[in-house]
Amino acid sequence: MQQKDYASQIHRCFRCGYCKFPTDYSSFNCPSYRRFRFDSYSTGGRLWLIYAWLKGEIEWSEHFAEILYTCTTCKNCTEQCPMKFAPDIVDWIVGARSDMVEKGKIPPRVARFFEAVYGYGNPFKQLRSDRAAWANGTKKYAPGDEYLLYVGCLGSYDENGQKMARSLVDILNASGVSFGILGEEEECCGNEIYMLGETGLFQNLVEKNSQKFKELGVRKIVTLSPHAYNTMKNNYPAFGGSFELCHYTQLLNDLIEKNKIKLSQAHVEVKLTYHDSCFLGRYNNIYDEPRQILQSIPGIKLVEMERNRRDAFCCGGGSGNFVTDLLAGSADSPARVRAREAYETGADTLAVACPSCLTMLTDAVKAEDLDDKLAVKDISQILKELLSAK
Amino acid sequence: MMTTSALYDSLVKIVGENFVSDQKEERYFYARDGGLMPPHEPDFVVMPKTAEEVQDIVKLANREKVPVVPKGSGLALTGLVIPQRGGIVLDMKRMDRILEVNEKARYVVVEAGVTHGVLKSYLQKHHPNLRHSIPDAPPIATVVANAVIHGQGRLSQQHGFNSDMVSGLEVVLPTGELCRIGSCSVSSYWFSKGPPLPDLSGLFLGWFGTTGIITRLGLKLYPCKKMRDIMLFLADKAELVPDIMLRLSHTEIVEDVVVSAQPLPLRFRGTFWIMAYITGDSDEELEFKRKMVWDALWEYFENRDVGFLSTSPDMKAPLLSMPSKDTARFADVSKGGGFQYAGPIAPIEKFPAFIKKLEEVATKYNVFYASTARLIGAGHCMMFSFSFSFNRADTDEMARAKEALDECSKFALEEGGVLWKADIYEQKLLMDKMDPNTLVLMKKIKQLLDPNGIMNPGNWEVK
C-alpha cells in the first residue's frame, strides 16, 4: 500500500490537467471536476491542496474535507496521468483521508457512514437481522457448496440491489450452480470504508469476513458487487484472505459459454448500452464478460456510449458517494451526465453490472425525466427476464 | 465602496452561488501556477457562463475598482494569471461551446473556455478533413489563452504563431462593452481578424488580459491530411542546426520542425534531435516528401554531420501524439512536480549561443535542463526553451532553478531575443529596453481602454 508514503510523494503532481480528460480529450471525465468545475475539485487541485495542508499552508476546513471526499476514486486520473506515479494517485488520496480520519476531521456525512457501519454493519443503519430479508429462502452457504455468493450491503438492503440479488439467485438456481449466502452473518466488504480512509474499521471487517470464510471452508466466492470484488481481490490477500474470486458477470458468462443458462427463444428487440463500473473496469480490467453476456442474447443490439471501457464516465457512486451523495444536487451531477449520455445513444435500456451504478443511474434517469424512455437494468435482471419468459 | 461580503453577493447574483468562491481552498489554488512565480491570492474565483455575465462582472469591478484577471488553465508557468493585486480571477472554462465550424472558409469560432483537447477531439469526430495548430501544452490549455500569449504549435513552421491564426475576436472591454474585432464586426463570417480593416486584434493579443477579456475567438483551420510521419535526424554540432532548420523550411512541405536537446538519458547527451514532421494523403505523397527532406539534408549526410535515426512505430507514437505527454513528463524528471522554461523568440542563428548558455547555466546552478527549439514561420524565428526541472519539495533547488531562468532570460534579451510570455519581472526588462515611444504608445492604449487599471494589474504596467 502506497498511502503511507503519500506525504513524501504528493508534491510530484504538476497540475498538468491530463487527469480531467478521457483518452480522446472529448470532454471532462473526472466526476467531481465535471460536477463543480473549480480546478480545486480536480485531481491536480486535490493533490496540491493536500500538499498545502501537509505543509501547513492551509488549515483543515469542512470545505477542504468536502473537496477531498468528492473524489469517487474512479481511477480516471490514474488512467490518464502521464507521470510515473500515476498508479499511486488513488492511494495518495486514500492516505490523506486516513490522516483526516485519525484526526477526526471528516465531513459529517462521511462520519455518519462510518457510524452506521460501526453500529449496524452496513451504511444504511439497517438491522443486521434484516440482512437476508431480500433472500426469500435462499439457501445459506454450507461446507461443500461450490460458491459463496457474497451479496454485500447494497444487495442486502437497497431496493434496487435486492432486485439484482434476487435475479442472480434465480439464474444460479436455474443453472444448477451449487452456492449459498451468508445471510445475517455477512459483514460489509469494506471497500468503501477503505476508500474513505478508515483503515482500522476496514481491517476489522476484513478479519471478520476472512474468519467467517475460513470457518466455513469457503474456496470460491462470487460477488454481486464490483466493489466487493475489488477489495476482496486486491486488499484481502494482504490480510491472509485465500480463495478463488469472481464477479457474477464472469460466472454467468462462463455458464452461458457452457450452455448452462437456457434463454428463452422468444424474440426480443432491445437496443441497449452498457455502463462500465469503475471497480470492474479500470480497477480490474473486466470489460469483455459483461458485453459478451449481452451480445449472447438474441435480438439485443449493443451500442456503446462515447465514453466506454477505460474511458467510461463514473456514475459518481464510488467511495461511498452512493450514500454520502456529495456530488448530488445538480444537472452536472455525474450520474445525470451519464444518464444523458446513455440516452443520446438511442438505447432504450441502460445495462449495468453493479448495485451502486444501478441505484445511482436509476435515480438519475428519474431526475432527468427519462424514466419512460430509458430503463436502467442490471445484467442479472435482463437475463432473469429472459429466463422467466421460458 | 462595497464590503467584501456585498461584493460576494453581487457576484452570486450574476453567476449563481455555485460558481463563486471566496473560500481559502480556491483562493490558494488560483493564487499560483505550476511555475516559480510567488503566489498571490485572489479575493474571489468566479466562473462565468456567458459574455453577458462577463460584462456584468467587469462593470461591477469597474464601479468598485476591483482587479479582474481572466484565466484559462494557467499553464503559461510564468505567473501571468496570478492575481498580483487580488480581486477576481475569472476562470473562463465554463464558456466551453464550439459555436461554428465553417468548412469552406476553414475556421472555427469557440468560446473562451474551449480547450485544445476538446477542439482536437471535436474536429476529428465531426470535421476530419480539418485541423488546428496544437501546442505542446497539455490538452487542458485553452485556445484563447494560447492565442493571447502568442503560443506556437504544430503547423507553426508553415503558418506562424497561434495568434497569427486568429480569424476574429469578441471582447469585453475593460469598461464593459462587448466588441467584435475583424470581419465578424461587419459580417456574419469570422474569416479575418483584421484585413482589410484596421487590425485591432493587436490591442488584445499579447496583452495578457490587461486590455480586455476575449469571450469568443475565430481560429483558422487547416487541411488535415490522412497520414503523418516524423523523420528524426541526429547532429552533434550546434553551429549546423540553424542551417539545417533553414534547409528543412526551404522544402515548404514540412508541418513542423523541432530540435531538442537534453543530457539524460545518456544516449541523448551531446546530440541534437532534429524532428521534421510531414503529412500526406497517400503513401506516394509521404514518400515524395521524405525524399525532399532527405535531399535537403543530403550534403550533411555525405559529410557525416547529420545522421538519420530509424525509429520503430513504438518510438514514433509519442513523438507524433498531439499534444505530447512527454512535455508534461519533464516535470517529474527529478521526481519533484515542477519545471519552467524561459522561451525567448529569437533568430534561429542564435541556436548555438543559446545551447552553450543553457549548458553553462545548468552546470552553474546544478539544475537539470532540457531544450526544445521550434521553427516559427519560414525561418523567420524560433522559440528556444531554456527548460529546468525542479523538485517542489526542495526550496533550494527551486531557488536555483529560478536564478538559472533569470540568467537565461537576460542573456537571451542581450542576444537580441524577445522574451515570450514574460513574467512581471521579465516584462520590466523588456520595457526597459523598449523604444521609449513604443512605451508611450502602450501606456496610452492601456489608459484609453482601461481607465481604472482593473485588468490583470501588475502586467504590462508602463510607469
Give pLDDT tens digits for B277-308. Answer: 999 999 999 999 999 999 999 999 999 999 99
The set of residues, in sequence order, having a beta carbon less than 8 Å from that of B194 and lying 6+ positions away, is: B181, B182, B200, B201
Q: How many CA within 13 A on the CB side of residue A263? A: 26
Q: What is the mean pLDDT of residues B131-157?
A: 97
- Alpha helix (H) residue ranges in A138-259: 152-157, 159-174, 191-195, 199-216, 226-234, 248-257
Cα angle, residue A281 at apex, residues A278 and A287 outer, rounded to 5°: 140
Distance (Å) from the alpha carbon of B119 to chain A's nearest alpha carbon: 8
Tell whether the model's pLDDT for residue B104 goes beyond 50. Answer: yes
Q: Smallest Cβ distance to A12: which of B33, B325, B332?
A: B332
Q: What is the mean pLDDT of residues A76-97?
A: 97
SS3 B19: helix
Distance (Å) from the alpha carbon of A110 to chain B's nearest alpha carbon: 20
Q: Do domains A110-255 and A264-388 have the same CATH topology?
A: yes
What pTM did the predictor assign? Answer: 0.96
Percent of chain A with pLDDT over 90: 93
Q: What is the pLDDT of residue B161?
A: 98
Residues of A in contact with B336 (CB under 8 A): 11-12
Q: What is the mean pLDDT of residues B12-22?
A: 98
In residues, how long is chain B? Answer: 463
CA distance B100 to B396: 49
Tell whether the model's pLDDT for residue A147 goes beyond 50. Answer: yes
pLDDT tens digits along B62-101: 999 999 999 999 999 999 999 999 999 999 999 999 999 9
Long-range contacts of B48-53 (CB under 8 A, 24+ apart): B48/B14, B48/B15, B48/B19, B48/B90, B48/B92, B48/B94, B48/B95, B49/B15, B49/B19, B49/B94, B49/B95, B50/B95, B51/B95, B51/B170, B51/B172, B51/B178, B51/B215, B51/B216, B53/B14, B53/B15
Nearest-CA neighbor of B170 among B75, B100, B79?
B100
Whether A56 contacts chain B with CB within 8 A: no
Interface touch B118/A61, C-beta < 8 Å: no
Phi, psi of B200 (to 5 degrees): -85, -5
Domain A264-388, what architecture? 3-Layer(aba) Sandwich (3.40)
Q: What is the pLDDT of residue A35?
A: 98
Which residue ranges form the domains of chain B, and what is each CATH number? 4-93 (3.30.43.10), 94-223 (3.30.465.10), 228-414 (3.40.462.10)
pLDDT tens digits along A311-356: 999 999 999 999 999 999 999 999 999 999 999 999 999 999 999 9
Tell whether the model's pLDDT for residue A390 goes beyond 50. Answer: no
Interface touch B28/A20, C-beta < 8 Å: no
pLDDT band at B427 (very low <50, low <70, confident <90, very high): very high
Whether A54 contacts chain B with CB within 8 A: no
Q: Smallest Cβ distance to B328: which of A21, A58, A82?
A: A82
A371: number of Cβ within 10 Å: 15
Distance (Å) from the alpha carbon of B325 to chain A's nearest alpha carbon: 6
Cα angle, residue B327 at apex, residues B321 and B332 outer, rounded to 5°: 130
Amino acid, res. B69? V
What is the residue extent of each domain of chain A? 3-106, 110-255, 264-388
A215: number of Cβ within 10 Å: 10
Q: What is the pLDDT of residue B9?
A: 98
CA distance B431 to B421: 14
Distance (Å) from the alpha carbon of B251 to chain A's nearest alpha carbon: 32
A179: number of Cβ within 10 Å: 21
Helices A159-174 and A248-257: crossing angle in degrees, nearest 10, is 30
Interface touch B337/A82, C-beta < 8 Å: no
The set of residues, in sequence order, having a beta carbon less than 8 Å from that of B297 and lying 6+ positions away, is: B233, B244, B247, B248, B306
Q: What is the pLDDT of residue A4?
A: 65
Interface touch A63/B115, C-beta < 8 Å: no
pLDDT tens digits along A186-231: 999 999 999 999 999 999 999 999 999 999 999 999 999 999 999 9
Whether A86 contacts chain B with CB within 8 A: no
Across chain B, mean pLDDT equals: 96
pLDDT band at A157 (very low <50, low <70, confident <90, very high): very high
- Give the residue carrying C-alpha cell 482536437: B120
Residues of A in contact with B115 (CB under 8 A): 25
Interface touch A38/B336, C-beta < 8 Å: no
Q: What is the pLDDT of residue B268?
A: 77
- Alpha helix (H) residue ranges in A217-307: 226-234, 248-257, 288-295
Whether A23 contacts chain B with CB within 8 A: no
CATH topology of domain A110-255: Rossmann fold (3.40.50)
Q: Smallest Cβ distance to B121: which of A25, A36, A58?
A: A25
Interface touch A18/B331, C-beta < 8 Å: no
Q: What is the mean pLDDT of residues B428-453?
A: 97
Residues of A in contact with B146 (CB under 8 A): none
Percent of chain B with pLDDT over 70: 100
